Amino acid sequence: MYRLTLLVTVAIWCVSASAQRVERVVYKGWQDCYRLTNGVVEVIVVPSIARVMHYAFVGEPNVLWVNPATEGKPVQPGEWLNHGGDKAWVWPQDEWHQRTGRGWPPPSATDQVTHQVEVINGNVIRLTSPLIAGYGARLVRDIWLELTGTRVHTRTWLEKRRDGAEFPVAAWTVTQLPAPDLLFVRLVPGARLPDGYKLFSPEPWRSVRRVGQDVLIPDRRSDVAVKLGADADLLAWFRAPYLVVQRAPLVSEGLSAYQPGDHAQIYSNPDDLPYIELEFTSPLKVLRRGETVSLEVVWELYRVAPAEQSVERLAELLSKL
């Protein structure tokens, strides 16, 4: 009963929704964008920069981070522009140099060229990348809304298109949001890291606090970039009054399918560009021609009442979701 009461208190969840719509729009100077709405929330996909750039309650502010310096600018193959929003890459990052000849920026086909776009069944936006050099595979993403409420579904998969290049790869999603008031990580049962997390960055976070048995609260730094990973199925961002929750359940094989700390990751950029990233990876898999490896992530958006905005109340909600 408490969980139900709290959910009703903190979120506009199931108002009567109008029929789902997909329409072509211009967004911040980018042409040929696609807006999905169910009357409760809206999502805007920009195929020309291979990203989701807008997620919000209808008529309310965007919760995704958009770089004001690159609004409306086209992608530049080989020259990475940090547009913001949500995109997909190939994991692991530390193998990019070996596969493509450079450690940064990401492989060009993932987010520096226009992706093919299709509307599937009238309500699913599908983005398809060109072949990713060095991998013999392409990225495909399906993005859709539920009929009511705030849930956005993304299914991202790597699809092997050529023989050869047989090494483990994973699909990787990266969602950028503005610097938050709070961040949360919900660990799964049996999480394997002694402190609940591992560092991907040379610098530590200001602190990583544990609330209860399964919720971590990382405190970002404003001066340097920091990143951590955890055996987690839920990441959350809070900036009053909005709470964004992303969930990526483990595959049926469980934790054994992932390297410790790889499945769920949070990156925080310093305050010269104040944003963070919620990131998930699929299991690593050696792909043969025609095979895929996929990652499913569900987004939810809540509007949190002032009385429910304490660390403890939010952590309790996320522990029970």
Confidence of residue 175 (pLDDT cuts 50, 70, 90): very high
Q: At what angle do helices 311-320 and 2-10 cross, to 10 degrees?
A: 120
pLDDT digits (tens, 9 = 90+) for 266-313: 999 999 999 999 999 999 999 999 999 999 999 999 999 999 999 999
Between 90 and 19, residue with greater pLDDT: 90
Domain ranges of the chain: 2-320
The answer on pLDDT for 57 being more than 80 is yes
Structure tokens at 72: 């409306």
Alpha carbons 292 and 288: distance in angstroms, whole number: 8
pLDDT the model gives residue 79: 82
Statement: 2-320 belongs to CATH 2.70.98.10: yes
> What per-residue confidence (pLDDT) applies to 4?
33
% residues pLDDT > 90 (the chain)? 91
Residue 65's pLDDT band, with cuts at 50, 70 and 90, is very high
Query: What residues are paired with 45 via a beta bridge?
Result: 34, 52
Q: What is the pLDDT of residue 44?
A: 98
Is residue 158 within 8 A of residue 134, CB to CB? The reply is no
Q: Which amino acid is at 279?
A: E
Task: For strands 21-27 and 242-247, give the pairing.
Answer: unpaired
pLDDT score of 18:
53
Cβ atoms of residues 147 and 38 within 8 Å: yes
- Average pLDDT on 51-64 reads 98
Amino acid letter, 241: P
Q: How far apart are CA 43 and CA 13, in angstroms?
A: 16
47 with 141: CB under 8 angstroms?
no
Q: Is the peptide bond prior to 105 cis by the omega test (within 30 degrees of 0)?
A: yes
The tens digit of pLDDT for each residue in 103-140 reads 999 999 999 999 999 999 999 999 999 999 999 999 99
296, 227, 82, 318: CA torsion to nearest 10? 40
- CA separation (Å) from 161 to 120, 145, 154, 158? 21, 29, 22, 9
Which contacts qualify for 37-44: CB closer than 8 Å, 24 or more apart? Answer: 37/145, 38/145, 38/146, 38/147, 38/148, 38/149, 39/15, 39/148, 40/12, 40/15, 40/148, 40/149, 40/150, 41/145, 41/149, 41/150, 41/152, 41/301, 43/143, 43/145, 43/152
**Average pLDDT over the chain, rounded to whole?**
93
State the alpha helices, DSSP H only, in 48-134.
96-100, 108-111
* pLDDT tens string 193-239: 999 999 999 999 999 999 999 999 999 999 999 999 999 999 999 99
* pLDDT at residue 38 in the model: 98
